[in-house]
């Protein structure tokens, strides 16, 4: 009898917890006149979403008058983009950081290029990205749980880069540790690039002052319909010497282009191009 009552008590606790979770989970949809967008112009507007939403059925649009940090906890799913009005606003928003600590799924893209103030991006639980990431001035990047994306493009004076779980990029993977990937803007320091889980990518371009590259699981570079002219490009300058190994790479569509400060056995006259088909 005692064990029966104990079992009922445990079941009651579990049901109460499940009811509580269901009650707190909420899908938020923008009103029809907003065309699927939640416009946020301040951290207080972001806080309102954090208090009432766990899923956003639409996109987050960072308004042109936004300044300072952007912190959105509790939201686990966003069906659309995280964006700003590239072609709509003459004035740019000035977010300093973008932090969504609980986000696990993003249905579309993060087109936040063109924002010089945005240097810190953290979405440590994001696993699935339905579209692209494009950032021009990144310093610290944490997407440690991201597994798949259409394209990934991080540019900026990057000192910290976490892409621990990235397994597949359908199109382009580009990482440059200089702002907007401009060779006239020298990187402040070297960058270690570690992509321990990456297996397949459309095309790769890594440029800047890169001290090391680890791609132990990469097996194929499949080709990219938009950037078909290169397969795998690695270019580094400013030291230290970067050591490269591709222990599992078996399929490369396009050239393997290496240039810069690397061991002599990899380079002839500081540049080597190897073509595979």
Q: Identify whether the C-beta of residue 40 lies closer than 8 Å to the C-beta of residue 69.
A: no
> Is residue 187 over pLDDT 60?
yes
CA gyration radius for the chain? 22
Confidence bin at 229 (pLDDT 50/70/90): low
13 within domain boundaries: no
CA angle 246, 146, 249 (to 5 degrees): 15
34 within domain boundaries: no
Q: Identify whether the C-beta of residue 194 lies closer than 8 Å to the C-beta of residue 173.
A: no
Q: How many domains does the chain have?
A: 1
Confidence bin at 267 (pLDDT 50/70/90): very low
> Is residue 214 over pLDDT 60?
yes
- Look at the chain and count its residues: 277
Which residues have a Cβ under 8 Å from the Cβ of 261 and sit 6 or more positions away?
236, 237, 238, 239, 240, 241, 242
- What average pLDDT score do residues 173-184 get? 89
d(CA 184, CA 208): 11
* DSSP 8-state assignment for residue 33: G
d(CA 147, CA 67): 30
- What average pLDDT score do residues 172-183 get? 90
- What average pLDDT score do residues 138-155 get? 97
User: Which structural domain range is residue 208 located in?
Assistant: 59-266
The DSSP annotation for 164-175 comes to TT--EEEEEEEE
235 within domain boundaries: yes
126 within domain boundaries: yes
Q: How far, CA to CA in Å, does 201 sit from each of 19, 81, 113? A: 42, 22, 22
Question: Hey, is 158 helix, strand or coil?
Answer: coil
186 within domain boundaries: yes
* Strand partners of residue 204: 173, 232
- What average pLDDT score do residues 111-134 get? 96
d(CA 114, CA 78): 22
85 within domain boundaries: yes
d(CA 85, CA 161): 26
> Minimal CA–CA distance to 124: which of 171, 73, 172, 167?
73
């Amino acid at each position: 009898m005692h064990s029966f009552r104990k079992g009922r008590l445990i079941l009651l606790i579990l049901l109460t917890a499940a009811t509580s979770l269901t009650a707190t989970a909420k899908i938020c949809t923008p009103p029809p006149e907003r065309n699927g967008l939640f416009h946020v112009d301040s951290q207080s507007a972001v806080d309102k979403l954090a208090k009432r939403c766990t899923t956003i059925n639409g996109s987050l649009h960072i308004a042109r008058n936004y300044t300072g940090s952007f912190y959105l906890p509790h939201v686990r799913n966003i069906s659309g983009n995280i964006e700003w009005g590239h072609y709509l606003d003459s004035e740019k928003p000035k977010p300093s950081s973008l932090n969504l600590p609980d986000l696990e799924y993003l249905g579309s893209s993060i087109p936040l290029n063109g924002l010089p103030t945005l240097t810190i991006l953290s979405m440590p639980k994001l696993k699935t990205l339905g579209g692209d990431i494009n950032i021009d001035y990144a310093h610290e990047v944490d997407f440690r749980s991201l597994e798949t994306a259409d394209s990934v493009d991080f540019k900026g004076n990057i000192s910290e880069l976490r892409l621990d779980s990235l397994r597949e990029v359908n199109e382009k993977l580009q990482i440059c540790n200089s702002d907007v990937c401009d060779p006239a803007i020298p990187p402040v320091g070297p960058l270690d690039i570690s992509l321990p889980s990456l297996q397949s990518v459309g095309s790769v371009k890594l440029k800047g002052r890169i001290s090391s590259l680890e791609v132990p699981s990469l097996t194929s570079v499949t080709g990219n319909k938009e950037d078909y002219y290169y397969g795998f490009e690695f270019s580094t300058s400013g030291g230290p010497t970067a050591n490269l190994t591709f222990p599992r790479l078996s399929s490369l569509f396009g050239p393997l282009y290496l240039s810069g400060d690397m061991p002599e056995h990899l380079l002839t006259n500081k540049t080597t191009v190897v073509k595979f088909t």
